[in-house]
Amino acid sequence: MTEIKHRTVKTNGINMHIAEAGEGPVVLLLHGFPELWYSWRHQLPALAGAGYHAVAPDVRGYGQSDAPQPIDAYTMKEHLADAVGILDALGAETAVVVGHDWGAPMAWNGAVLHPERFRAVAALSVPFLQRPPAPPTQLFKQIFQDNFFYMLYFQEPGVAEKEFEADPRRSMRLFLFAASGDDTSQGAGFAGKKKGDQFLTGMHEPEKLPAWLKEEDIDFYAKEFARTGFRGGLNRYRNMDRDWEQLPELAGAKVQQPALFIGGEKDGVLRFTSLDAMKQNVPNLRDTIMLPCGHWTQQERPAEVNAALISFLKGLD
């Protein structure tokens, strides 16, 4: 099995930890919340074995990468500058960018705003979304009114941190299970909550972990988040309105590069988003693949995700 190596690179004024494997054209793998480079542990050796240089950073605010204090250090602009800076540090003119969860908007927006650096894009879980007509939190408040919505719950600094950091291992265990395809409670942890509830309210403790998730995986996440806290990851949500203000050029944007979308049939994210709209705005969408899983696509269905990514990459060459 190909060895995964680790090092720190300088990018956009910060130190960023990357995990990497293989040689060849660069494939940049961007994780989401609350994950780490580790969420790509199954993809790094597979992509390396197929002839690619697979690179998975701990996104700023996570793991062994720097975590600047200011909330506005976590805008989409800063994350995209980090990604471009990684390519510079690697001496790579271009890369294929792959993103999951928050990494997916980073990948899509990177393709729109830096087409000279990202020659193709693959997104997991989150389809390409148009810039909304108003700041996102305004729209969320109109839609959800007095009901709980996690993105609004995450807005107040310190609130979600306090909940998650009380017991990082339990938090990761509940969150990973609740958003997976193995929780048969029909999304009880995410839907039907009242104002005043917490994020983990109603989530079920699994009697046994699903086959794709091992105790040592939970241990890895828990150890890192116990050390760093969750603030860096949560700050991404606190910049959604700022992103809207800073990136008006995304209005009406289309992704022109070759693209791939992989989603989970049981992923709650897809209840809020439209695949049809994505198809209109990504004219070179090569494939849309739906897998029998929940939100943690590349962890729940690694073999299928690896096969889809490698097929897509080979089709570009």
What domains does the chain contain, in order, with CATH numbers? 5-316 (3.40.50.1820)
* Residue 1: predicted pLDDT: 65
Structure letter (DSSP) for residue 34: T
Alpha helices in the chain (DSSP H): 43-49, 76-90, 103-113, 136-144, 150-153, 159-165, 168-178, 215-228, 231-237, 240-246, 275-281, 297-300, 302-316
> Angle 253-258-262 (CA atoms, 0-180°, nearest 5)?
90
Q: How many Å separate Cα 46 from the centre of its chain?
A: 19
- One of 58, 66, 82, 101 is an active-site residue; which one? 101
* Residue 105: predicted pLDDT: 98
**Annotated catalytic residue 182:** no
* Intra-chain end-to-end CA distance of the chain, in Å: 24
> In Å, what is the CA distance from 92 to each residue of 28, 50, 87, 97, 112?
11, 18, 5, 12, 18
**Count of beta carbons in the 10 Å neighbourhood of residue 116:** 8
- One of 31, 53, 100, 295 is an active-site residue; which one? 295
Which residues are paired to 291 by β-bridges?
264
Per the CB < 8 A criterion, the answer to whether 176 and 161 are in contact is no
Residue 51, classed as helix, strand or coil, is coil
Non-local CB neighbours of 219 within 8 Å, separated by 6+ positions: 169
Structure tokens at 256: 């022109």
**Annotated catalytic residue 101:** yes
Structure tokens at 59: 């996104």
* Residue 95: predicted pLDDT: 98
Name the amino acid, one letter, at 314.
Answer: K
Grouped pLDDT means (10 residues each) for the chain, 317 residues:
92 98 98 98 98 98 98 98 98 98 98 98 96 95 90 96 98 95 71 84 90 97 98 98 97 97 94 86 97 97 98 95
What is the rounded CA–CA span in Å between residue 288 and residue 68? 36
* Residue 186: predicted pLDDT: 56
